[in-house]
Structure formats: C-alpha cells, structure tokens
C-alpha cells in the first residue's frame, strides 16, 4: 500500500514538472501550421525549400521532407546562435 501511494505521488509530481524553457530562447518552430515560421516572436522565420508535405505529427502537424529535394533554410537571428562560442 505504501508503494502505491509513493507511485501515485511521484506520478502527480512528474505531471506538474513540464519543461518548456523560454529563457534564452532564440526561436521556436512547431511546424503545426505547416510553415517554418518562428513562433517565439524573435523574427527568425525559415524559408521552405522544395515542396515538403504537411502530415500528421506526434502532436499537431509535422513536415515530411524528401531526401535531396526538400529542406528549410533558417534565416534571421537564429543564425547568431551558431556563430557564438557558447559556454554551458
């Protein structure tokens, strides 16, 4: 019985701990609208290359890319992240 309550308490606490970091967020792409638009508001929209398909994703929509013909070119402030020496 003690194990049941411990497991139930652990399950309840873990459901409250959802990690969605926003501090230091440069860009967020959910692809739910089948575009490469930055939904963080930082203006780092991507440009779709080729003709990727909009398909059902794990949560919402997803982009299906064909090898060699489809892709996303990320432009804007998100590229500054790759030009820094990040110290973690």
21-40 pLDDT, tens digit each = 667 778 888 888 889 988 88
Q: Which residue, chain included where needed, has tokens 């409250």? A: 16
pTM summary value? 0.60
* pLDDT greater at residue 38 or residue 82: 38
Report the DSSP beta bridge partners of residue 74: 46
Q: How far apart are CA 88 and CA 28, in angstroms?
A: 20
Residue 78: phi, psi to the nearest 5?
Answer: -65, -25
Per DSSP, 40 falls in state T
Contact 1, 8 (CB under 8 A): no
Q: What was the pLDDT predicted at 12?
A: 62
Please give the pLDDT value at position 52. Answer: 92
Q: What is the per-residue pLDDT for 49?
A: 93
Is 39 in a helix, a strand, or coil? coil
pLDDT of residue 33: 86
Question: CA-CA distance, 51 to 78, in Å (whole number)?
Answer: 23
């Amino acid at each position: 019985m003690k194990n049941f309550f411990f497991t139930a308490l652990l399950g309840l606490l873990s459901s409250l701990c959802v990690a969605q970091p926003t501090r230091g967020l440069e860009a967020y792409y959910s692809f739910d609208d089948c575009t490469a638009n930055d939904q963080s508001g930082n203006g780092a929209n991507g440009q779709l290359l080729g003709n990727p398909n909009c398909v059902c994703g794990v949560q919402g929509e997803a982009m299906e890319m064909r090898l060699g013909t489809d892709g996303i070119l990320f432009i804007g402030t998100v590229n500054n992240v790759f030009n820094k020496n990040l110290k973690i």
